[in-house]
Amino acid sequence: MIGVVAACVLILLLFLQFYKNAYRKPYNFPPGPPSLPVYGAYWIVLATEFNNLAAAFRKIGHKYKTKLIGLYLGAIPAVIVNDSDLIKEMLNREEFDGRMDIILARLRAYWRKLGIFFTDSYFWYIQRRFSLRHLRDFGFGRRDETLEAVLESEIRVMIDMSIHGPIYPAENDVVKGKLIYLPHYFAVPFINGMLHVMSRMTLPRSEYHLLWELARKSLIFQRSSDDIGRALSLTPWLKDIIPKWSGYHALRSSNQYLIDFFTNLVSKELKSYDESHERHFLDVYIKKMKEELAQEKRSTFSVEQLVLVCIDYMFPAASAVQAVLTMLVERLLLQPEIQDKLHEEIDRVVGNGRLPNLDDRKNMLYTEACLREMMRFDTLVPLGVPHRAIVDTTIGGYHVPENSMISANYVMLHMDEKIWGDPENFRPERFIVDGRLSVASDKSLPFGAGKRLCAGETYARQSMFQVFAAFMQAFRVSPADGHRLRAPSRRIQGIITTIPEYWVQVTPRIV
């Protein structure tokens, strides 16, 4: 009898402790779901919408009737911002400019905090300012005739490959007759464009297979994690127990290709470096690194950091911009009338005697509007890269403890009926007002905002316009099987939003 009572008391105590832990939160923390063992409220997030965290947080916000969701992800206090105005406030406040120290960031950077994306404080400030300042000298983030010419040359090869067929074996994986394989078909112009910015070199067509592999590995890395880092970030010891299931194996192997690619590039430039002849961005960085080494001062500049800087600036070119165009082509298959309007505009503004260029952008309102609407309609990075509160602070009347994770749910902004009226409809015309492209009416934030604004926004917008406009000038797209597409494919939510790779038929246009 005594044993039964003791067991009941023990069970009661355990239940009380479980209940206490489940609802334990910092003072004046935003409302949100309770915590469960090991992963905290992450269990509930996954149960709400397993493959779409942004959608899960949208539902949880409705359930708790709150614009800010407060929860524990494992042992980490986290705040999800589910309101358009608060998202903009959060992104523009310096106290939220920190980054989380998670295994995803360490794994990709020699188990150190390197690069641009996942660093913060003085290190991030120095590296971001230096890299952006000097990358601009070589065409990144501004108009540059040399870079535009490189992109045009690569676009011509891309189009020629479809019209006249493959030359090298690897091209058969991307082009088969009238079919092209997305997103990899779009990869080369973007990647070679960034290589040109960094090193003033591009890989020839005979070596395109290296660029397609770079695109594949980048896509695998992007899909092997999510905005939070999945279970691996909350329980990093899983990498030693179930490396494949936890995503660690895919992250490590795909990242190693990127490391090797840019280590080889940097090594070649180190061997040929001549301090009297500054050729490109890598030379500028190497010069700065050698100067600080000679002064025997503590420096943020190193060979390893340069490799990670290259990777961080290349990642969007190797995966994100292609994802946008791939989803946009799918949208043309779903709404053929959009393709007709694009062709009418291209024929009227450009004709067929030359490729579209950035001077045409101001006159090709509908083409530009399609790109903007695509980035609103399918948010590329739904929760962004997680921020960290660097001090105790407040937002929206709630307390956010120092070192808490805080993320903006961009889907809430991009699907806000108060801003867009009919956000569930793909309607490029919403960005055209009185016959002009209205940038003021574009309240979307596909590249973020504030000091953490994506450094590659200008390059991405310009290069996407060049590639997409030229592609649509050259081809009419239709489903590979000849049947009209009735529904969009599933969205794969990793760090970025992607859709499964697919073949699409392209028919050369006679204008």
Domain contains 33: no
Specify binding-site residues: 454
Write down the pLDDT at residue 34: 94
- Residues 6 or more apart whose CB falls under 8 angstroms from that of 441 comprise 430, 431, 433
> Given the DSSP bridges, would you call strands 393-395 and 432-433 parallel, antiparallel or unpaired?
unpaired
Q: Give the integer Cα–Cα distance in Å for 111 and 99.
A: 15
Residue pair 467/155 in contact (Cβ under 8 Å)? The answer is yes
Residue pair 410/88 in contact (Cβ under 8 Å)? The answer is no
Give the DSSP H or E segment for 216: helix 208-223
- Residues 6 or more apart whose CB falls under 8 angstroms from that of 142 comprise 136, 458
Write down the pLDDT at residue 11: 56
Within 13 Å, how many C-alpha atoms sit on residue 375's CB side? 22
Give the DSSP H or E segment for 400: strand 398-400
Write down the pLDDT at residue 47: 92
Write down the pLDDT at residue 394: 97
DSSP of 269-335: HHHT--TT---SHHHHHHHHHHHHHHTT---S--HHHHHHHHHHHHHIIIIIHHHHHHHHHHHHHH-
Coil/strand/helix, residue 494 = coil
Least confident of 207-211, 251-255, 336-340, 474-478: 251-255
Domain that holds residue 445: 75-508
Residue pair 496/380 in contact (Cβ under 8 Å)? The answer is yes
- Respond yes or no on whether the N-terminal peptide bond of residue 500 is cis (omega within 30° of 0): no
Coil/strand/helix, residue 116 = coil
0.85 exceeded by pTM: yes
Closest CA to 465 of 379, 369, 327: 369
- Residues 6 or more apart whose CB falls under 8 angstroms from that of 186 comprise 158, 321, 322, 325, 326, 467, 471
For the cut 60, the answer to whether the pLDDT of residue 13 exceeds it is no
Reduce the secondary structure of 222-263 to three states and give it as a string: HHCCCCCCHHHHHCCCHHHHCCCCCCHHHHHHHHHHHHHHHH
Mean pLDDT of the chain: 91
CA 263 vs CA 123, 203, 307: distances in Å:
21, 16, 6
Burial of 248 (0-12, 13-18, 19+ CB in 10 A): buried
Coil/strand/helix, residue 507 = strand
Least confident of 164-168, 230-234, 385-389, 422-426: 230-234
Q: What's the structural domain count of the chain?
A: 1
Domain contains 397: yes
Domain contains 23: no
Domain contains 362: yes
Quick one: pLDDT band at residue 293, thresholds 50, 70, 90?
confident
Domain contains 6: no
As a whole number of Å, the end-to-end CA separation of the chain is: 92
Quick one: pLDDT band at residue 18, thresholds 50, 70, 90?
very low
> Given the DSSP bridges, would you call strands 387-388 and 98-99 parallel, antiparallel or unpaired?
antiparallel
Residue pair 107/375 in contact (Cβ under 8 Å)? The answer is no
The residue behind tokens 């290190």 is 123
- Residues 6 or more apart whose CB falls under 8 angstroms from that of 213 comprise 257
Tens of pLDDT, residue by residue over 349-381, are: 999 989 999 999 999 999 999 999 999 999 999
Write down the pLDDT at residue 481: 92
Quick one: pLDDT band at residue 22, thresholds 50, 70, 90?
low
Quick one: pLDDT band at residue 16, thresholds 50, 70, 90?
very low
Residue pair 442/430 in contact (Cβ under 8 Å)? The answer is no
Least confident of 35-44, 169-178, 191-200, 233-242: 233-242
Least confident of 142-146, 319-323, 409-413, 507-511: 507-511
Specify binding-site residues for heme: 454
Residue 358 has a CB neighbour count (10 Å cut-off) of 17
Domain contains 314: yes
CA 370 to chain centre: 19
Domain contains 67: no
Coil/strand/helix, residue 124 = helix
Tens of pLDDT, residue by residue over 440-491, are: 778 999 999 999 999 899 999 999 999 999 999 999 999 999 898 999 999 9
Here the CATH number for the domain that contains residue 255 is 1.10.630.10
Domain contains 423: yes
